[in-house]
């Protein structure tokens, strides 16, 4: 039975690396995969999934208005798809999460979504909220805080390395903009003046 999986973590936990490795494993065995990435994330170039350790792959960039079920159904009709991978899944809309659930339920194709659970203010992203609600399996990818405890939160930094406490939920960036912390140290950073 195909399932909708959601692997979530703070920044720099290796989500994209895990996605690329899993897709490679399918392809190595002659199976076709589809990799999707939110079009808003162009850090590695539009339509590219890239990891901090240097792995990358072409992907299909999706926007909020795209019907992912229809897109995948058309591709599947052209040639069997063994698995669908989604990077930056926090940027999915709630409807797109349901479209991916239909891919698993009706097309019987496993869907593995990878993304952040919360933003820099500790709030759920819309896509993550829906995935946490309806995914068949939830998987936490772990990384560590500077103290050695499990990091579950992310803080956004300004150009001087100071923690930003307000602003738009989405601001694309990597190590230069975000730092992962355990809940205790994130709260310390967010509360200090």
* pLDDT at residue 10, as a whole number: 82
Instruction: State the DSSP string of 107-165.
Output: S---EEEEEESB-TTSPBPHHHHHHHHH-SEEEEPPEE-TTSSEE-EEEEE-TTSPEE-
Alpha-carbon distance 45 to 95, whole Å? 26
Alpha-carbon distance 113 to 129, whole Å? 13
* pLDDT reading at 26 higher than 90: yes
Q: What is the pTM of this model?
A: 0.83
**For residues 1 and 76, which has the higher predicted lDDT (pLDDT)?**
76
* pLDDT reading at 103 higher than 70: yes
Q: Which residue has the tokens 């079009």?
A: 39
What domains can be seen in the chain, in order of their start residue?
4-141 (3.40.50.300)
The residues facing 111 across adjacent strands are 4, 84
Q: Please say whether the beta carbons of 155 and 177 come within 8 A.
A: no
Tokens encoding 9: 């973590």
| Catalytic positions, written as ranges | 88
Tokens encoding 151: 């990091």
């Amino acid at each position: 039975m195909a399932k909708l999986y959601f692997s979530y973590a703070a920044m720099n936990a290796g989500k994209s690396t895990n996605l690329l490795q899993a897709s490679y494993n399918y392809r190595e065995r002659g199976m076709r995969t589809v990799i999707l990435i939110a079009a808003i994330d162009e850090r590695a170039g539009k339509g590219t999934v890239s990891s901090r350790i240097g792995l990358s792959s072409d992907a299909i960039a999706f926007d909020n208005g795209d019907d992912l079920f229809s897109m995948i159904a058309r591709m599947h009709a052209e040639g069997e798809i063994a698995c669908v991978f989604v990077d930056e899944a926090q940027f999915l809309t709630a409807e797109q999460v349901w479209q991916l659930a239909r891919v698993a339920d009706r097309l019987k194709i496993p869907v593995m979504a990878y993304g952040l659970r919360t933003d820099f203010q500790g709030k759920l992203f819309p896509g993550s909220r829906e995935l946490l609600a309806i995914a068949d399996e939830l998987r936490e990818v772990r990384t560590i805080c500077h103290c050695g405890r499990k990091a579950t939160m992310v803080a956004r930094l300004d150009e001087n390395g100071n923690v930003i406490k307000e602003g738009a939920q989405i601001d694309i960036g990597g190590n230069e903009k975000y730092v992962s912390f355990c809940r205790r140290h994130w709260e310390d950073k967010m509360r200090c003046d």
